[in-house]
């Protein structure tokens, strides 16, 4: 199979898009490590994925938690082939719909701590493992407002834009170790979080904003991401791959 023998990590994968990505990785032959801040969610999620799944607790906003996680991974595996930084600050309408002048420093920092600094923390430690084996792929889940900007929600756009820049640095600094990196800028994907958070009219509006006039399906996004994680993209690195039904085209 496409990813036979590979070890992959997906952060924030007890539900939503992360769960679909983890499931697709195992369908393609990989062994997957999924993470959640809540231990109780992990067993259930792993049972739904398949036997090649392990769950570890991880809060990317906390350095100690990241170090404990890395210790747990290192005890089980001597290498990691794929890291998917999917963990993202929970979608909160009251922050998302704010303009810059109404955003507190705390709101900004909370989002940066997860989507940007959390991604940096995990990437930094996993790079050390990947460098030893001189191979690896790191995929950062970003979002289209990081490229185009938006009329609100700046902390999120800024955090994801930072993760896109981090991707470029990983590609340039570690290409010599055969480590590749990609950002995936997603449009509106119909995940549990989106279903929970948006009203019917907001969902309808999101549907009309791209050229395909529909929301993305988590399973199709997972397939695209798994394709990037393997050798189909072996001579590509540092790029931002936009998966958004043609909402922004560059």
Which CB, 28 or 210, lies closer to ligand NAP? Answer: 210
Strand order across the 31-36 sheet: 53-57, 31-36, 7-10, 82-85, 136-143, 179-186, 240-243
Q: Which residue has the tokens 């309808």?
A: 204
Minimum separation from the CB atom of position 170 to ligand NAP (A):
17
Q: What is the DSSP letter of 9?
A: E
Going by C-alpha positions, the residue among 170, 174, 116 that lies closest to residue 143 is 116
Minimum separation from the CB atom of position 65 to ligand NAP (A):
8
Minimum separation from the CB atom of position 125 to ligand NAP (A):
14
Which CB, 37 or 68, lies closer to ligand NAP? Answer: 37
What are the residues binding ligand NAP (CB under 6 A)?
11-12, 14-18, 36-38, 41, 58-61, 86-90, 114, 118, 141, 143, 186, 188-189, 191-194
**243, 219 contact by CB (below 8 A):** no
φ, ψ of residue 244 in degrees (nearest 5): -150, 20
Which CB, 29 or 107, lies closer to ligand NAP? Answer: 107
> Residue 101, class by beta-carbon neighbours within 10 Å (0-12 exposed, 13-18 middle, 19+ buried)?
exposed
Minimum separation from the CB atom of position 2 to ligand NAP (A):
22
Which CB, 81 or 244, lies closer to ligand NAP? Answer: 244
């Amino acid at each position: 199979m496409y990813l036979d023998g590979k070890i992959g990590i997906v952060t924030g994968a007890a539900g939503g898009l992360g769960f679909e990505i983890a499931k697709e990785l195992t369908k393609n032959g990989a062994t997957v490590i999924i993470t959640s801040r809540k231990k109780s969610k992990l067993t259930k999620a792993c049972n739904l994925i398949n036997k090649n799944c392990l769950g570890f607790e991880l809060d990317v906003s906390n350095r100690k938690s990241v170090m404990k996680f890395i210790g747990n991974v290192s005890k089980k595996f001597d290498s990691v082939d794929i890291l998917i930084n999917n963990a993202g600050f929970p979608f909160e309408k009251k922050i998302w719909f704010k303009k810059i002048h109404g955003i507190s420093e705390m709101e900004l920092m909370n989002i940066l701590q997860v989507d940007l600094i959390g991604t940096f923390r995990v990437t930094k430690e996993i790079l050390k493992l990947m460098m030893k084996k001189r191979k690896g792929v790191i995929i950062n889940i970003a979002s289209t407002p990081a490229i185009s900007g938006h009329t609100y929600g700046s902390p999120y756009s800024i955090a994801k834009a930072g993760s896109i820049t981090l991707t470029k640095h990983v590609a340039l600094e570690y290409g010599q170790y055969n480590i590749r990196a990609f950002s995936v800028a997603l449009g509106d994907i119909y995940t549990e979080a989106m279903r929970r958070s948006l009203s019917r009219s907001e969902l309808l509006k999101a549907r009309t904003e791209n050229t395909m006039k529909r929301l993305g399906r988590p399973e199709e996004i997972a397939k695209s991401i798994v394709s990037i994680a393997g050798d189909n993209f072996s001579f590509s690195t540092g790029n931002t791959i936009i998966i958004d039904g043609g909402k922004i085209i560059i």
